[in-house]
Structure 1
Amino acid sequence: MPSFGQRFEAFLGNLLSSQKGRDAGLFSTQPAFKDKEPTITINSVIGPSGSTMTKEYAADGEDKFPDLSWDAVPNTAGYVLVIEDPDAPLWFPPIHGLFYDLAPDNTTVKQSDLEAADTKKKTLKSGAYKYGKNIRGNVYGGPKPVLNHGNHRYFYQLVALKRPMKNLSAFATREEILNDLADDNILAWGVWLGNYERKLE
């Protein structure tokens, strides 16, 4: 039987069911991306973009990262990956993950990378790349939409850089990275979309 807390969360989910679609606030809809169409195809162990994520990949399940891969972008200086949910009942899309300083030959982000996180240095994969601030203050947080709020879309947005980023703090923020990209530093980008919903049972 659902607990009182779960029933109350589901009540709020139903009440706020129309509060979705903050797509205008997504990382990849900001001015730095103006007139730049997505050209990078991102693959996941789950399936093609638009696939439904199982509980294995959700925060209320095993919270696994949906291993991603892509073909190397010629002449890139490296990559940035930002994960956001524009369907959360907030005034902005919360960040579930922010990874940066991925080398040009690093064309995957995997669960095993996250398991090898150095939380003091904020690095992953034995220092191969870094992670920045997200809404949960951890390395990565999988989907956990409000009960009965309907389907949520999770945007895994990848950017190939023209040149290395600069002027970032040791624990970079979305705003710092966007400021760098705004200086004409986007070579190419793409997105993998995952769907997830929680229902009161």
Structure 2
Amino acid sequence: MAIIGRLLRNRRAAPEDLAWCRPNLAAGDVFEVTSTDFEHEAALDVRHAMKRVGGQDLSPALAWSGVPADTAQLLLVVEDQDAPFGGPFVHALALLDPKINELPSGALASGSTIDGVEVLRSSWGRGYLGPGPVPGHGPHRYVFQVFALTEPVTIPGGGGAPESAKPRAVLAAARAHARGRIDGFYERP
């Protein structure tokens, strides 16, 4: 399988395709996002990786501060910037009550019952799906983004409720006025 990774080594999603760079989410105000499980631009522990690669699919703990007081809703997006597809792979998507300023490890599981946390569909299923890059493809950047939205997400044109919508529909419908992020890396040799 490492041969496939080496063959795809130069095929990666473009950084400008991240949710972070979408015009409707690229707000001017930036706030801080931190984690007790990893430092910004450091390696993610294997427990946060996919089960099929030896991990636990355990979303890392996250915290943020400096969210504007007039925020209607928070949108949390976890993307693999280096996925060898046409765009970033969405590893988690969730809508959060703006009163929440932290999530414990595992809070983004598909069956999460934390008040104020609505776990949505990712690119593959519902809930957090940990890193599992192709062996030999090199390090992948996992971008944990929190967007402060000006109004709750509604899917236009009969697109359904956010909980049943595809990630691209949720990202297109959201409007942010502030944002924050923390990046981690994971690699399979």
Q: When the two structures are superposed, what TM-score results if normalisation uses the length of structure 2?
A: 0.85
- Give the match for residue 81 of structure 1: 76
Q: 2:90 aligns with which of 91, 95, 98?
A: 95
Q: Is the CA contact 2:75–2:148 (under 8 Å) kept in the aligned structure 1?
A: yes
Aligned to 1:33: 25
Relative to structure 1, the CA distance from residue 198 to residue 68 in structure 2 (aligned partners, 3 Å threshold; closer, same or farther) is: same
C-alpha distance in 2 between matches for 1:112 and 1:62: 9
Whichever residue aligns with residue 47 of structure 1, its letter is: F
RMSD over aligned Cα atoms: 1.9
Match of 1:178 among 171, 174, 182: 171
Q: Distance in 2 between matches of 1:54 and 1:173?
A: 28
Hey, what's the Cα distance between the residues in 1 that align with 2:171 and 2:124?
Answer: 20
| 2:128 partner letter | Y
Structure 1 Cα separation of the partners of residues 37 and 115 of structure 2: 26
Partner of 1:108: 102
- What is the identity percentage for the equivalent residue pairs of Structure 1 and Structure 2? 29
Partner of 1:197: 187
Describe the superposition over 1:36-70 as per-residue Cα deviations: whole angstroms up to 9, x where unpaired. Answer: 34611111122332111121211121221111011
Aligned equivalents of 2:25 and 2:152: distance in 1? 17
Specify whether residues 179 and 112 from structure 1 end up closer, same or farther in structure 2 by C-alpha distance, changes over 3 A only.
Answer: closer
Q: CA deviation at 1:11?
A: 0.5
Q: Matches of residues 121-132 of structure 1 in structure 2 within 5 Å?
A: 124-132=112-120
Q: CA 1:18–1:48 in structure 2 vs 1: closer, same or farther (change >3 Å)? A: same
Q: CA deviation at 1:194?
A: 0.7
Tell me the SS of whatever aligns to 2:136. Answer: coil
Unaligned runs of 5+ in 2: none
1:136 Cα deviation from its structure 2 partner: 2.3
The whole-number CA distance in structure 2 between the counterparts of 1:90 and 1:114 is: 24
- Displacement, 1:127? 4.8
What whole-Å deviation, never above 9, does each CA across 1:128-163 have from its counterpart, x for those lacking one?
A: 221222122131101111001100000111100112
Contact 1:41 1:190 survives alignment (8 Å): yes
- Letter of the 1:125 counterpart: T
Q: TM-score, normalised by structure 1?
A: 0.81
Say if 1:31 and 1:72 are closer, same or farther in 2 by CA, change over 3 A.
Answer: closer
Supply the distance in 1 between the matched residues of 2:18 and 2:45 (Cα, whole angstroms).
Answer: 23
Matched, 1:158 2:142: no
- Contact 1:72/1:105 (CA < 8 Å) preserved in 2? no
Aligned length: 180
Match of 2:130?
142
1:125 and 1:107 map into 2 onto residues whose CA distance is 17
Unmatched segments (≥5 aa) in structure 1: 1-8, 119-123
Q: Which moved more, 1:190-199 or 1:129-138?
A: 129-138
Mark the CA change 1:125 to 1:57 in structure 2 (over 3 Å): closer, same or farther: same
Task: Measure the CA separation in 2 of the matches of 1:33 and 1:161.
Answer: 8
Q: Look up the equivalent residue of 1:45 and give its one-letter code.
A: T
